[in-house]
Amino acid sequence: MANLVCDKCKKSMNEKEFYGTNNLEKYPTGKLNRCKKCLTMHVDNWDPETYLWILQECDVPYVPQEWYACLETWGKDPSKVNGSTIIGRYLSKMKLVQYKKYRWKDTEFL
């Protein structure tokens, strides 16, 4: 595994600390240029305005019912949920066979 450097905190860390993206034109490594911690530090899992841009950068569709299913499963105690909790689960769900062929542009269709 390669180490990547976060554009925000400037730390070098394992690529596992970065979310993957389908936008290979913008991110040739297949990883976003900010680490998970820096990327999600201002995410409010209950406010789409704070996370939709991340889904767009990852080039995955936003399927509200799937997002809220993740919230229902892993967000029962808001004091234990941080910015990356739901995003990580949601991005994993978007890799499943029924969603992996879709991209951000397919959001309205879905």
Distance CA 71, CA 86 (A): 6
**Average model confidence (pLDDT) for the chain?**
94
Distance CA 80, CA 66 (A): 20
pLDDT in tens, 78-98: 777 887 889 999 999 999 999
Distance CA 32, CA 7 (A): 9
pLDDT at position 65 is 96
pLDDT at position 110 is 86
pLDDT in tens, 4-14: 999 999 999 99
Domain count, the chain: 1
Distance CA 28, CA 37 (A): 21
What size, in residues, is the chain? 110
pLDDT in tens, 53-85: 999 999 999 999 999 999 999 888 877 788 788
The domain of 68 spans: 3-106
Question: Among 82, 48, 40, 41, which residue's Cα sits nearest to residue 67?
Answer: 48
